Structure 1
Amino acid sequence: MKKISHKILLAIILTSFILTTGFGMYNISYMINNHRNELKLLRESLLDDYDIMIKNQVETAVSLIEYSHNQYRLGNITQNEAKEQSKRLIRTLKYGEEGYFWIDDTKGVLIEHPVAIQAIGTNRIGIEDPNGVKLIQNIIDSGVNKTNDGFTEYMWEKPDDNSGELYIKRAYSQLFEPWDWIISTGNYIDSIENIVQIRQEEYTSALKLSIIVTVLFVLFSSILTLIIAIVLSRKITKPIVEMVNNIKKDEDGNISIKEINIQSKDEIGQLAMAINTMIEQVKHFIEETKQISDNVVDYSQGLSNVAEESTASIEGVSRAMEELTQGVAEQASATQNGSETLNTLANEINTVVEITNNLRNYIIGADKSGQMGLQAVTNLQDSFSIYNDKSNHLTKGIEILVYKSESIGTIIEAIQGIAAQTNLLALNASIEAARAGEAGKGFAVVADEIRKLAEGTAQSTKQIGDMVNDIQAQVINLTNNLGETKILFDKVDESILHTGNAFGTIEDAVKNTISEVDKLLDNTNKINSRKDLVVKVIEDISATAEESAASSEEISASLEEQTRSIDEISTTATELQHISTTLQSVISKFKL
């Protein structure tokens, strides 16, 4: 689709088709929704009229029962007569063609029914329709509790229809409280659906006619729009085609431009005037361009010659700079190596300083430990001196104890001798008491007790003697051990004395070592400070060498860049000359 006339036709036709189709679809949709709403309102209106009608009929039937009840209350008839009268009235009361009433009590027992006479007196509370709806229970609930405003719907077969088809039946019930009667009536409401169906068919026919009219209107509008679009597109595109024909290129590539003669005052006429003005400007532009291209050819030839001479000069300078750059680079490399060597030496000096500081700290720690050891040896000597004094006192005490134990042994021997003599005297006294007969019995008893006491004393004395002998043996053993211990402590005391002398010597040596290490550390720090100065000087020399090398390289790069620029200028001059020649060839193709 390259022609603008086709684009105009397509735009107008599509716009018209979319608008008319949209309007037609909206109209059809509106008619369908309106049709559905009307059917819904019709169905609701018919149902409301039916509900009002059967409700009024039931209220009429209840008023007849109330009349009979009032007769009973006034005493004109009995209650049974009033009930029978009410049944007759309900049995004979009709409305419409098939409308009738029936009576159930609140327990589900059928009281009166003009059609189902055989079921009167039976309880129908459990009757269900084919869908499981307990219709009698629901009718009673609607009458007593006004459930669903007293209305009940259920499915039931028509009495005169043996097809087995089910129809919706809608009933209304009302409670008569004095007798607990539920008065009900109901009818099949399929007639309402039949009316709605007839109206729906009428609406469907009207809807089909409206759709046909709408489609014809859309087609007619589309055809009319097509005719108008063709006329308008031709009117719009004709002057445009004329402008295109006045500016064209022939088979040889020559472009011919003619003045456009269009008298229209609209935008197309304004465009033609603008093109004519542009044609005049193009003529002047081509003439000036031709003159400029001639000048450019001359200038580009001269520029090319100058570029060749500049290139030869720069090449000589570039070679010299390359040699200079190489020497500076070698110097920078050597300086860099020296700087790295000095940095390595500086790191080693720093390591020596750090090790020397650590060594000094370790020696100071050793000096403190030696002083603590010397003090510990001194304390140990003092403790051994005290212990030696205590040991001497203990030895003297043990010697006194040995002497005392020997005295106790002498005393025990004396006691044992006294006990033996007492025992002998007691024996003699017993013999003399026996000789004395009755007169010596008391003395015999005393003598016997004295004998027992002497034996006990002898036995106790023997035990004490054994204990004293054991104590003496232990004391002698302890005395021997103390003697050996004293000999050992004398040797330890002598060793402690030698140890104290050794610690004193160590302390003197450590102090001398600390003094020497301080001197070493001072010299190392001086070397370290002078090392930093040397490293800085070498680094400055290296940096200067590197900057010189970099400057040389920049100069070389700059010369290379200038060489490339001059080459580009030369190339550009050649291209410019070629472009100017081409431009002259192009300009010659314009036929103005």
Structure 2
Amino acid sequence: MKSLKGKITLNFIIVITILVVAGFFGTQMATTKLKMDFINSYKTSLLLDYDEMIKSQVQSSVAILEYFYNLQQAGELSEDEAKYQAKETIKSMRYGTEGYMWIDSLDYTLIGHPMVPDKEGTTRFEVKDPDGNFVIQNIINAVKDPNQNGFTEYLWEKPQDVGTGNLTVKRAYSELFTPWQWVVSTGNYVDHLDNTVHNRTVEIEKNINAVIYTVLSVLLVLALISYVVAMLLSKNLSAPLEKISSSIIENEDGSISIKPIEINSSDEIGQVANKLSILVEQIKTQLDSTGNISHNIEELSRNFLASLNNSKNAISEVSFAVESISSGASEQAMETERGATRALELGEAIKTEQEQLSYLVNEINNIKKIKDAGLSVIEDLKLKMQETNKSSNKVLEAVSTTSTFSDKISFASQTISNISAQTNLLALNASIEAARAGDHGKGFAVVAEEIRKLAEQSAESTKEIESTIKELQQKSYFSLKVMEETGVSLQEQTQAAEASMTNFNSIANEVDKITSRISLLEASSSTVSSIKNEILQVLEGLSATAQQNSAATEEVSASLTNQLHNIEDIKMSSEQLTYLSDSLNEHISKFKI
């Protein structure tokens, strides 16, 4: 719907529909919850009443057992008589239509049962329902466990359902009679409780449905009334608005004509109509003023475009010149950087040469140390050789002296040998003379014999001495020859040491010259390095200046480019302004007030 009346009516219908649906479902949910709460409460109440009923029946049976027990205690009945009469009395008790009692012992033996008397005296420990629950065990355990309060549930067949497999929930209550250790129980099927609850539920649902239908009818009546109110309200609102809409007409040529708005109403819509009339007059005044301003803007825009074109041409020429300067500055900066790079490479080469010179100086200093050590060693060797030469001369003299003494000893040995021979001869003559003298010459003969033996010993000793002297003379002669050769060798070694010392001194002189040259090279290298640093500083300054010039020219070029773009933008804006001015004049001409 395009009309305001239709929209208002539609909105009212949507709102009322939502309210009706929400009310209906809300009522249904609330009543459903109330129904469930009531059913649960009602079922719980029925179950509690049933529990109280079967509990009171069991307690009455226990009171009967108590009565017969008291008779036994009083001596009026024996124990067997009391138990028998009590059992028969319990078996005969009935309540309701199907209620009865039975008795079990704590050892699961059936004491009395009105429905199965043939099983009395048998154990029922293994009796269980189709779900596997041990019925009698659970009943006895419910009596023993105070938390279970004596109640149990199990599945069992009704008398009319025996053999059919139809099972019904049966709820039992049991209580222990301690003196005889009997457990009195009763139980009934509780399906009638479910039937009672079902019937009550059906009755409640009928009442709830009646309430829901009533609420729905009321909501529908309210919806109808609201629809009528919406129609009347939308008519009162839309009529003045239609008059306002009809006062503004769009002509076939696209122009808009506005007629005076006549609404005799003092409500909000009438006030809006009056203010719209005032607004129309103000719009007419503003349109006339805007038309004049638009013509003036159009004229200024055209003049401004002409000025922008002239500025654009001038800036283009300046930008071209700046780009040429920037290109030259960039090339200068690149050449300067290239020179700085070469200077840095030269500095690295100079640094490497300085390091090599330093290494060479260190090596020369090591050579000097080695030379000084060699000279010291040669000097020591020379001194040692001189001392050795002196010692050799002394040994030579001693050997010569020994040879002289050995000659003298040889001469003395020959003399002793001659004396020994003559003594031996004299001893022989003395022995001959003693033999001639007979007994008077025996003592002299003994002396002569001893002298002869001494002469022989002297002769043998003299031979040994001569042999030793000859060997000593031979060794002395050999030692003389060795010492003479050693002396010659020592003289040659001394000459070689002196020559080595001379060579070492020459090497030292040459090393000193090389050291002097290296010092000059180091000084020169330092000077070159200093000059290189100055060149680098100059090149860095030139490079920085060139980069600044290049950056400045680039900034100027960028600024000029931005100005050109701005001029283009301003030009486009001016053209758009001219176009908008024309368009504004065209639109203003469409308003006919």
**TM-score of the superposition, structure 2-length normalised?**
0.73
Residue number in structure 2 paired with 1:419: none
Residue number in structure 1 paired with 2:174: 173
- Aligned pairs for 1:323-334 within 5 A: 326=324, 329-330=327-328, 333-334=331-332
Q: Do the aligned partners of 1:335 and 1:538 also contact (CA within 8 Å) in 2?
A: no
Q: Judging changes above 3 Å, is the alpha-carbon distance between structure 1 residues 329 and 118 closer, same or farther for their aligned structure 2 residues?
A: closer
How many residues are matched? 498
In the aligned structure 2, how far is the partner of 1:549 from the partner of 1:243?
71
The one-letter code sitting in structure 2 at the alignment partner of 1:43 is: K
In the aligned structure 1, how far is the partner of 2:329 from the partner of 2:92?
141
Residue 319 of structure 1: how far off its partner (Å):
4.4
2:169 partner SS? strand
Q: Do the aligned partners of 2:326 and 2:554 also contact (CA within 8 Å) in 1?
A: no
Residue number in structure 1 paired with 2:87: 87
Segment drifting more, 151-160 vs 289-298 = 289-298
Q: Do the aligned partners of 1:360 and 1:518 also contact (CA within 8 Å) in 2?
A: no
The answer to whether residue 261 in structure 2 is matched with residue 260 in structure 1 is: yes
The answer to whether residue 31 in structure 2 is matched with residue 31 in structure 1 is: yes
Q: Do the aligned partners of 2:247 and 2:259 also contact (CA within 8 Å) in 1?
A: yes
Residue number in structure 2 paired with 1:124: 124
- Aligned pairs for 1:291-310 within 5 A: 291-303=292-304, 306=307
2:124 partner SS? coil
In the aligned structure 2, how far is the partner of 1:141 from the partner of 1:169?
17
Q: Do the aligned partners of 1:332 and 1:545 also contact (CA within 8 Å) in 2?
A: yes
The answer to whether residue 153 in structure 2 is matched with residue 153 in structure 1 is: yes
Q: Judging changes above 3 Å, is the alpha-carbon distance between structure 1 residues 251 and 284 closer, same or farther for their aligned structure 2 residues?
A: same
Q: Judging changes above 3 Å, is the alpha-carbon distance between structure 1 residues 147 and 560 closer, same or farther for their aligned structure 2 residues?
A: closer
The answer to whether residue 58 in structure 2 is matched with residue 58 in structure 1 is: yes
In the aligned structure 2, how far is the partner of 1:492 from the partner of 1:159?
151
Residue number in structure 1 paired with 2:353: 355
1:276 partner SS? helix
The one-letter code sitting in structure 1 at the alignment partner of 2:29 is: S
The one-letter code sitting in structure 2 at the alignment partner of 1:353 is: K
Residue 255 of structure 1: how far off its partner (Å):
1.0
- Aligned pairs for 1:236-251 within 5 A: 236-251=237-252
2:155 partner SS? strand
Q: Judging changes above 3 Å, is the alpha-carbon distance between structure 1 residues 356 and 569 closer, same or farther for their aligned structure 2 residues?
A: closer
1:100 partner SS? strand
Residue number in structure 1 paired with 2:138: 138
Q: Judging changes above 3 Å, is the alpha-carbon distance between structure 1 residues 189 and 369 closer, same or farther for their aligned structure 2 residues?
A: farther
Segment drifting more, 100-109 vs 289-298 = 289-298
Q: Do the aligned partners of 1:16 and 1:225 also contact (CA within 8 Å) in 2?
A: yes
In the aligned structure 1, how far is the partner of 2:564 from the partner of 2:123?
125
Residue number in structure 2 paired with 1:445: none
The answer to whether residue 273 in structure 2 is matched with residue 272 in structure 1 is: yes
In the aligned structure 2, how far is the partner of 1:205 from the partner of 1:376?
137
The answer to whether residue 372 in structure 2 is matched with residue 371 in structure 1 is: no
Q: Judging changes above 3 Å, is the alpha-carbon distance between structure 1 residues 266 and 506 closer, same or farther for their aligned structure 2 residues?
A: farther
Q: Do the aligned partners of 1:150 and 1:174 also contact (CA within 8 Å) in 2?
A: yes
Q: Do the aligned partners of 1:154 and 1:168 also contact (CA within 8 Å) in 2?
A: yes
In the aligned structure 2, how far is the partner of 1:274 from the partner of 1:29?
52
Q: Give 5+ residue unaligned stretches, structure 2.
A: 400-478
In the aligned structure 1, how far is the partner of 2:179 from the partner of 2:494?
137
User: Structure 1, residues 64-109: CA drift from partner, whole Å, max 9, x if none?
Assistant: 1111111111222211111112112212222222211111111111
Q: Do the aligned partners of 1:144 and 1:174 also contact (CA within 8 Å) in 2?
A: no
Residue 287 of structure 1: how far off its partner (Å):
1.2
Residue number in structure 2 paired with 1:456: none
Segment drifting more, 2-11 vs 33-42 = 2-11
2:353 partner SS? helix
The answer to whether residue 200 in structure 2 is matched with residue 199 in structure 1 is: yes
Residue 237 of structure 1: how far off its partner (Å):
2.5
Q: Judging changes above 3 Å, is the alpha-carbon distance between structure 1 residues 70 and 561 closer, same or farther for their aligned structure 2 residues?
A: closer
User: Structure 1, residues 378-417: CA drift from partner, whole Å, max 9, x if none?
Assistant: 569979969x98xx99xx9xx9xxxxxxxxxxxxxxxxxx
Residue 498 of structure 1: how far off its partner (Å):
7.5
Residue 8 of structure 1: how far off its partner (Å):
2.8
Q: Judging changes above 3 Å, is the alpha-carbon distance between structure 1 residues 48 and 500 closer, same or farther for their aligned structure 2 residues?
A: farther
In the aligned structure 1, how far is the partner of 2:118 from the partner of 2:213?
60
In the aligned structure 2, how far is the partner of 1:503 from the partner of 1:569?
94
The one-letter code sitting in structure 1 at the alignment partner of 2:176 is: L
- Aligned pairs for 1:565-576 within 5 A: 576=577
Segment drifting more, 300-309 vs 509-518 = 300-309
Residue 373 of structure 1: how far off its partner (Å):
7.5
In the aligned structure 2, how far is the partner of 1:217 from the partner of 1:362?
121
In the aligned structure 1, how far is the partner of 2:381 from the partner of 2:574?
113
Residue 372 of structure 1: how far off its partner (Å):
5.2
- Identical positions, percent: 30
2:127 partner SS? coil
Segment drifting more, 138-147 vs 152-161 = 138-147
Segment drifting more, 490-499 vs 534-543 = 490-499
Segment drifting more, 184-193 vs 348-357 = 348-357
Segment drifting more, 189-198 vs 347-356 = 347-356
**TM-score of the superposition, structure 1-length normalised?**
0.73
The answer to whether residue 72 in structure 2 is matched with residue 72 in structure 1 is: yes
Segment drifting more, 546-555 vs 266-275 = 546-555
In the aligned structure 2, how far is the partner of 1:126 from the partner of 1:500?
133
Residue 513 of structure 1: how far off its partner (Å):
3.2
1:125 partner SS? coil
In the aligned structure 1, how far is the partner of 2:11 from the partner of 2:508?
115
In the aligned structure 2, how far is the partner of 1:378 from the partner of 1:497?
12
User: Structure 1, residues 185-220: CA drift from partner, whole Å, max 9, x if none?
Assistant: 111111111111111111222233333334434443
The one-letter code sitting in structure 1 at the alignment partner of 2:520 is: K
The one-letter code sitting in structure 2 at the alignment partner of 1:79 is: E
The one-letter code sitting in structure 1 at the alignment partner of 2:25 is: M
In the aligned structure 1, how far is the partner of 2:331 from the partner of 2:146?
115
In the aligned structure 1, how far is the partner of 2:299 from the partner of 2:28?
80
Segment drifting more, 44-53 vs 514-523 = 514-523
2:153 partner SS? strand
In the aligned structure 1, how far is the partner of 2:297 from the partner of 2:542?
54
Residue 182 of structure 1: how far off its partner (Å):
0.8
Please identify the structure whose Cα radius of gyration is greater. 2
Q: Judging changes above 3 Å, is the alpha-carbon distance between structure 1 residues 301 and 112 closer, same or farther for their aligned structure 2 residues?
A: closer
Residue number in structure 1 paired with 2:22: 22
In the aligned structure 2, how far is the partner of 1:49 from the partner of 1:306?
110
The answer to whether residue 37 in structure 2 is matched with residue 41 in structure 1 is: no
Residue 557 of structure 1: how far off its partner (Å):
6.4
In the aligned structure 1, how far is the partner of 2:99 from the partner of 2:553?
125
Residue 330 of structure 1: how far off its partner (Å):
3.5
In the aligned structure 1, how far is the partner of 2:381 from the partner of 2:17?
128
Segment drifting more, 113-122 vs 232-241 = 232-241
Residue 139 of structure 1: how far off its partner (Å):
1.1
Residue 295 of structure 1: how far off its partner (Å):
2.9
Q: Do the aligned partners of 1:248 and 1:255 also contact (CA within 8 Å) in 2?
A: yes
Q: Judging changes above 3 Å, is the alpha-carbon distance between structure 1 residues 187 and 383 closer, same or farther for their aligned structure 2 residues?
A: farther
User: Structure 1, residues 270-321: CA drift from partner, whole Å, max 9, x if none?
Assistant: 3323322221111111111222233334444544555566666x27xx5477
Q: Do the aligned partners of 2:298 and 2:578 also contact (CA within 8 Å) in 1?
A: yes
Superposed CA RMSD in Å reads 3.9
In the aligned structure 2, how far is the partner of 1:3 from the partner of 1:369?
119
Segment drifting more, 504-513 vs 519-528 = 504-513
Q: Do the aligned partners of 1:367 and 1:507 also contact (CA within 8 Å) in 2?
A: no
Residue number in structure 1 paired with 2:7: 7
In the aligned structure 2, how far is the partner of 1:91 from the partner of 1:494?
158
In the aligned structure 2, how far is the partner of 1:30 from the partner of 1:581?
70
